[in-house]
């Protein structure tokens, strides 16, 4: 019998298509790594919040985030998003003040405002109220909604305007609406409101325009706000904290000053004026 010699094994070079796919994969890997390195803080925040949402059903309402060191006066801000709050338990864990959402835009009243407003005071927590500003609606109508909703009285903290919604057509129109709200609310209650915003929005749209108003600054993932201390009075350092008495996350804040300075910030009795400086 004739035996055929074995065929030589062919050694084909990778096709151009395979080489191209490898280069694309490597490029995507490098781009992905670059995006991660640049936005890792934000990505970590999203991951933590997704995890918190996933594990919400297992929360007991007793979880606790450590207080931020270096500050003696701590507080929270809440809305109906936090559900039913056990204010007595909250007060037992060094929360001295709370700002409570009252209204938004020109028609929305927070469904839990009245209960939160009443129960926070009963628990001995100094309370304030805030309005979430919608920049494409009339500032006067928004001020009217807030003043018809919130019965601020002597001893309460000043009203707050939350300005951070990014969807607006004209920054000058937005600023005029903010200014209208601040003026009308100050005239109604006889006390200067506090302006709230996050760091990037404030720097881009508000800085230099409302410096006469006390600033409450939201700035996360930093050791301290990237504004001079004389520019702000309250720092919202986290929006994913846990406080016993609240099932789920809540915003955590510190007041720049001691407890006596916080008391001096409250709405004064008739005939008395608040101190010119708050620090």
Query: Would you name the residues annotated as active-site residues?
Result: 77, 164
Please answer whether residues 111 and 68 qualify as being in contact, where contact means their C-beta atoms are separated by less than 8 angstroms: no
The CA distance from 157 to 235, in Å, is: 16
DSSP H helices, the chain, are 16-54, 87-91, 113-122, 139-149, 171-189, 199-201, 259-265
Please answer whether residues 120 and 109 qualify as being in contact, where contact means their C-beta atoms are separated by less than 8 angstroms: no
**The pair of three-digit structure tokens given for residue 234, joined into one six-digit string:** 């309250």
The CA distance from 102 to 80, in Å, is: 10
Q: CB-based burial of residue 63 (10 Å sphere; 0-12 exposed, 13-18 middle, 19+ buried)?
A: middle
Which among 243, 234, 43 is positioned nearest to 130, based on CA atoms?
Answer: 234
* Close Cβ partners of 67 (under 8 Å, ≥ 6 residues apart): 74, 94
Cα–Cα separations (whole angstroms), residue 235 to 3, 19, 21, 28? 88, 53, 49, 38
The CA distance from 81 to 79, in Å, is: 5
Q: Three-state DSSP class for 104?
A: strand
**The pair of three-digit structure tokens given for residue 157, joined into one six-digit string:** 């903290």
- The β-bridge partners of 97 are 75, 126
CB atoms within 10 A of CB 78: 24
């Amino acid at each position: 019998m004739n035996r055929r010699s074995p065929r030589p094994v062919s050694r084909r070079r990778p096709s151009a298509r395979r080489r191209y796919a490898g280069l694309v994969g490597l490029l995507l890997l490098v781009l992905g790594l670059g995006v991660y390195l640049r936005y890792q803080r934000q990505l970590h925040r999203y991951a933590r919040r997704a995890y918190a949402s996933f594990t919400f059903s297992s929360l007991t309402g007793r979880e606790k985030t450590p207080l931020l060191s270096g500050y003696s006066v701590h507080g929270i801000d809440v809305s109906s998003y936090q559900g039913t709050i056990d204010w007595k338990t909250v007060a037992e864990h060094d929360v001295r003040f709370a700002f409570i959402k009252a209204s938004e835009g020109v028609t929305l009243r927070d469904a839990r405002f009245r209960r939160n407003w009443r129960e926070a005071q009963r628990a001995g927590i100094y309370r304030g109220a805030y309005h979430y500003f919608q920049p494409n609606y009339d500032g006067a109508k928004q001020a009217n909604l807030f003043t018809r909703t919130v019965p601020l009285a002597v001893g309460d903290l000043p009203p707050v305007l939350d300005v951070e919604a990014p969807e607006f057509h004209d920054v000058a129109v937005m600023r005029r609406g903010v200014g209208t709200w601040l003026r009308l609310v100050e005239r109604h209650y006889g006390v200067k409101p506090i302006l709230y915003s996050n760091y990037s929005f404030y720097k881009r749209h508000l800085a230099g325009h409302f410096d006469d108003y006390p600033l409450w600054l939201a700035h996360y993932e930093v050791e301290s706000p990237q504004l001079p201390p004389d520019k702000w009075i309250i720092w919202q350092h986290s929006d994913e904290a846990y406080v016993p008495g609240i099932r789920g996350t809540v915003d955590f804040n510190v007041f720049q000053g001691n407890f006596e300075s916080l008391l001096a910030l409250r709405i004064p009795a008739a005939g008395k004026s608040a101190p010119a400086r708050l620090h």
